[in-house]
């Protein structure tokens, strides 16, 4: 890197985080040590954090105290992640219904409130404390580091854009923060020739050391670069997430940009797993969460998925004491891996690929491709008014958004207008309408398709 990169990494970033009371850098150094511990040592660390969480949840939350009492369980009965099967699963409906009863009466207070982006069509609000937030930040930097992204690098983020903050001051602070940290954000949702050409132009001018992108977005840009023979840069790593990285897309990305690394996360807990240089599954963040892959039996019971078997992803955030989420079923499916040290030397357990986050591609009125994740971005900030949603593109190109309002029969005028403006921006020329429905049924596999493209 140039001179500014090391200065940012070794001086400016640590000082900035410390000034805000965030121990990101010390926690990152700790995680870079623990990832090399034996699996037994990692299990001991994880078990200790789990026991602390369960004691806290039983003593200070009405929901978990009642759940354990109903089953005749005491916190001390659960000594490790292997014992978690005795506790109930926490599905998305239960998460929404139990927000108040899962809040800790004994602190710590929530520091962050976020809404998920709604990849299953039902946004979820999550609250967590400073401790959880600090571990999330350090975990993200560690996982990104496995793919070659280190603090101080110029990073191009080819990502979806949420609506800009209304406050001028907040917009200016965001712009300054990105400039200091060397982050360039480009909207990956429009995928017509004009938008892709502009993205390549900005990439050349910015000369990134690394790219962080939606998997399908990076693949679309890579295919355009390859087909147009536009590459004029040396290799740089591409870290992808939000959607599954398919083998054919990996080939396009690596030909256009450089080595691809798959990551997996969700807004409820942030980065959950990342691919290392061996590209053999994704290492989970054992020090910050428990990631289970479970299979439901016909009698309603569950079991751990066997190596190579696909199951549901179940997460326990070990550091969220403000509003615990224990055994949260996030709606994704993933493949389980056998335990054992990776060739990279890390003992952290692995999962993958993740099979529950693919979305279909929409088309605007001119036939240009538009990423199906676009409306997930919008509804991530509309959880207060929208309960469920689904986008359907008809054979004639018209787009219908099916919406289940949180309250009443229709959305407030301001929200309805914002959705139409969003559609006009990203799907210009495509007829668009909102359809209010009582419910949106699941598929036979138990998933709600957020994007449906009629063929």
Q: Could you tell me how far CA 68 lies from the centroid of its own chain? A: 30
CATH for 148-258, options being 3.40.50.720, 3.30.70.2740, 3.90.1150.10, 3.40.50.980: 3.40.50.980
Query: Edge to edge, what strands does the sheet with 386-393 contain?
Result: 432-436, 399-405, 386-393, 451-453
Domain ranges of the chain: 17-135+265-354, 148-258, 362-453
Q: 17-135+265-354 with 148-258: one CATH topology?
A: yes
| pTM of the predicted structure, to 2 decimals | 0.83
Q: Which two tokens stand for residue 231?
A: 């590459």
Q: Is the pLDDT assigned to residue 280 strictly greater than 60? A: yes
CATH tag, 362-453: 3.30.300.30
Q: How confident is the prediction for the chain on average, in pLDDT? A: 91
In percent, how much of the chain has pLDDT > 70? 94
pLDDT in tens, 366-376: 888 887 767 77
Whether CATH 3.40.50.1980 fits 17-135+265-354: no
Q: Which tens digits make up the pLDDT trace of 15-66?
A: 999 999 999 999 999 999 999 999 999 999 999 999 999 999 999 999 999 9
Give burial (CB, 10 Å; 0-12/13-18/19+) of 17: buried
| Token pair listed for 300 | 């309603």
The CA distance from 320 to 57, in Å, is 10
């Amino acid at each position: 890197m140039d001179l500014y990169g090391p200065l940012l990494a070794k001086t400016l970033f640590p000082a900035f985080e410390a000034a805000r009371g965030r121990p990101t850098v010390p926690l990152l150094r700790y995680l870079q040590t623990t990832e090399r511990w034996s699996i037994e040592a990692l299990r001991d660390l994880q078990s200790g954090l789990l026991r602390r969480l369960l004691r806290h949840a039983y003593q200070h939350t009405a929901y978990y105290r009642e759940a354990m009492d109903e089953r005749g369980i005491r916190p001390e009965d659960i000594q490790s992640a292997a014992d978690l099967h005795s506790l109930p699963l926490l599905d998305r409906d239960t998460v929404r219904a139990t927000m108040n009863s899962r809040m800790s009466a004994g602190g710590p207070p929530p520091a962050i409130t976020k809404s998920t982006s709604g990849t299953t069509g039902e946004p979820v609000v999550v609250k967590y404390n400073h401790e959880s937030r600090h571990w999330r930040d350090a975990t993200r930097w560690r996982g990104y580091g496995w793919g070659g992204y280190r603090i101080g690098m110029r990073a191009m983020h080819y990502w979806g854009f949420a609506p800009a903050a209304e406050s001028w001051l907040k917009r200016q602070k965001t712009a300054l923060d990105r400039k200091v940290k060397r982050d360039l954000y480009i909207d990956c949702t429009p995928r017509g020739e004009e938008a892709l050409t502009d993205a390549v132009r900005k990439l050349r001018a910015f000369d990134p050391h690394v790219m962080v992108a939606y998997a399908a977005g990076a693949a679309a840009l890579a295919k355009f670069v390859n087909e147009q023979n536009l590459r004029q840069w040396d290799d740089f790593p591409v870290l992808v997430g939000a959607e599954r990285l398919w083998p054919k897309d990996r080939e396009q990305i690596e030909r256009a940009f450089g080595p691809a690394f798959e990551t997996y996360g969700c807004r409820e807990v942030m980065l959950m797993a990342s691919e290392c240089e061996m590209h053999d599954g994704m290492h989970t963040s054992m020090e910050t969460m428990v990631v289970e892959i479970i299979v439901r039996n016909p009698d309603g019971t569950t079991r751990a998925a066997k190596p190579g078997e696909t199951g549901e992803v179940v997460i326990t955030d070990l550091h969220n004491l403000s509003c615990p989420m224990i055994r949260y079923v996030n709606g994704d499916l993933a493949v389980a891996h056998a335990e054992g040290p990776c060739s990279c030397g890390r003992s952290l357990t692995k999962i993958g690929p993740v099979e529950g986050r693919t979305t279909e591609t929409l088309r605007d009125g001119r036939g240009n491709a538009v990423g199906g994740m676009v409306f997930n971005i919008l509804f991530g900030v509309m959880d207060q008014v929208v309960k469920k949603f689904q986008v359907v593109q008809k054979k004639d190109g018209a787009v219908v958004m099916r919406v289940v309002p949180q309250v009443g029969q229709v959305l407030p005028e301001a929200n309805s207008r914002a959705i139409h403006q969003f559609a006009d921006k990203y799907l210009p020329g495509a007829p668009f309408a909102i359809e209010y429905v009582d419910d949106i049924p699941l598929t036979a596999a138990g998933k709600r398709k957020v994007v449906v493209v009629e063929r």
